[in-house]
Chain A
Amino acid sequence: MSIPVLRVQHLVKRFGEFVAVNDISFDIRPGEILGLLGPNGAGKTTTIQMLLGVVTPTAGSIQMFGLDLAVHREEILQRVNFSSTYVAMPQALTVEENLWVIARLYGLSQTQERVDDIVKRLEMEEFRHKVTRKLSSGQSTRLGLAKAFLTEPKILFLDEPTASLDPDIAQKIRSFLKEERRSSGLSVLYSSHNMHEMEEMSDRIIFLQRGKIVAEGTAQEIVARFGQADLEEVFVKLAREK
């Protein structure tokens, strides 16, 4: 079995008395897409924020590429990126300006070629010179994805990446992700409320509830274990459990 690119061990996050993440451990292997499921408030976003180094864990460790995030933050984040429907890019800049800033922030070479390439691959040519505040929500989501893929990360955190996209574009994004994973060995932590998408995309799934992992395995394994018809029913069952 290959060495994990991401290893989370006994991760805990408390905000005062409230325990947002309660002793979770999981791995992601190279080229693997790990689905992160859970109802609102389960701790998914806090987990991703800790993995991105913007929230400090109360306890536990996060290792990526065999390095400790607490010690090698800069080195790790150079090879990691994220896209979230809920985190927009600066609205006053054009799409292309935003991508240029990101390229410089990560010290990328051949910037123009890379920007042109990602704009083309995500079909953003028609709005590349548009100011971000004038984009539709689907176009904004594609900009977020372009920002994430521009830096050619080895690990990608995606928080509901297709939430505001029409089915056609959403399908294209999923195909794009699969192609990236196949060609570059990209590893992905994928959070979504679309169960069909989760089943289609994820090699494995972890289900978070009230900060704890309550189920882990492939979609089929989880469905079988809970004796439900599909993942959506498992989600509803677990989300309603006290």
Chain B
Amino acid sequence: MKLHRIYALVTRYLYLYRRSLPRMMEIFYWPFLDLVIWGFITVYLMKFQGQIPGAVTFFIGALILWDILFRSQQGVTISFLEEIWARNLMNLFASPLKPSEFLAATMVMSILKVMAVSVVMVVCAGLFYSYNIFVLGLWLIPFVLNLVLTGWIIGVLTTALIMRFGQEAEVLAWSMVFLFQPISCVFYPMEVLPGWLQVIAWANPAAHVFEGMRAVLSTSAEPITHLGWATGLNLVLLGLVIAVFHWMFELCRERGLLVRIGE
């Protein structure tokens, strides 16, 4: 893997953000709007504090962490879509660039996006709702890292599918992650899911993170087991989706699809 190629792609994506209002909105406007809506819901729920203890902490904390996962996924998938929209895949893959370097560049973009969005959300949550995400303490670090990895898993899988099925599948860039939301148990505990769905949800690394978050907030328990499962599942699934991406890439080269995406 050559760093200068990854740097080249990251530079290219940053050039795009420099003079594009819609792209900047993706980082600032939508996360802000999410926070405002969920913040008001939380303010309303605070009237029933007795029934839902720690509602503010649960909901706004969960929202910020969910947005980290979402933006992490978008960082990977939207970068690929940028190449489709620009019809630039031929220029890229007729160069010495390797598919793994391309993926690495999208992951770097994902980290940059997550950092920008996190700052916006944490600052806004503090200003408007006096909410401090750092109430999670040092556990916040492994939680965030695991959610970024889960975002990459969904992002790489979505990218592989768009590469294979073409631009018609680009709606997956925004919808795929929401397929995982119900089984991520973002805003409710795992126990509310039916038994059969719990089995599926436990295979989702994000569910372990959100369960861990609730454990820290409600009982101050140490979520070691949840984090162990989340990390293990993330590593296995990430390896798997990267293999799928490479397989799809070769299939697209074989069928001539790589140069036809976006036509």
Contacts and interface: CB of A to CB of B under 8 A. Distances in A.
A105 B8 contact: yes
A111 to B, nearest CB: 11
Interface in A88-128: 88-93, 97, 100-107
Contacts, number: 88
Given A54-B90, A55-B256, A87-B90, A74 B96 contact: yes
B61 to A, nearest CB: 36
Contacts of A13: 256
A55 B258 contact: yes
Nearest to A157: B94
Contacts of B95: 77, 102, 105-106
B8 A54 contact: no
Contacts of A147: 91
Interface in B87-146: 87-98
Contacts of A84: 90
Interface of B: 2, 4-5, 7-9, 11-12, 15-16, 19-20, 86-98, 250, 253-256, 258-259
B93 A53 contact: yes
A89 B94 contact: no
Given A55-B258, A102-B8, A105-B96, 11 more contacts: A13-B256, A54-B90, A55-B253, A74-B96, A77-B96, A81-B94, A89-B91, A90-B12, A92-B15, A97-B15, A107-B4
A104 B8 contact: yes
A137 interface: no
Interface residues of A, number: 34
Contact of A87 (B7, B11, B15, B91): B91
What does DSSP make chain B's interface, helix, strand, loop or mixed?
A: helix
Contact of A101 (B8, B96, B254, B256): B8
A91 B86 contact: yes
Contacts of A88: 86-87
B256 A15 contact: yes
Given A52-B94, A89-B88, A89-B91, A104 B11 contact: yes
Contacts of B97: 105
Pick the most buried of A52, A73, A92, A107: most chain B CB atoms within 10 A of its CB: A92
A54 B93 contact: yes
A56 B15 contact: no
A82 interface: yes
Contact of A106 (B20, B93, B96): B96
A101 B259 contact: no
Contact of B94 (A54, A100, A107): A54
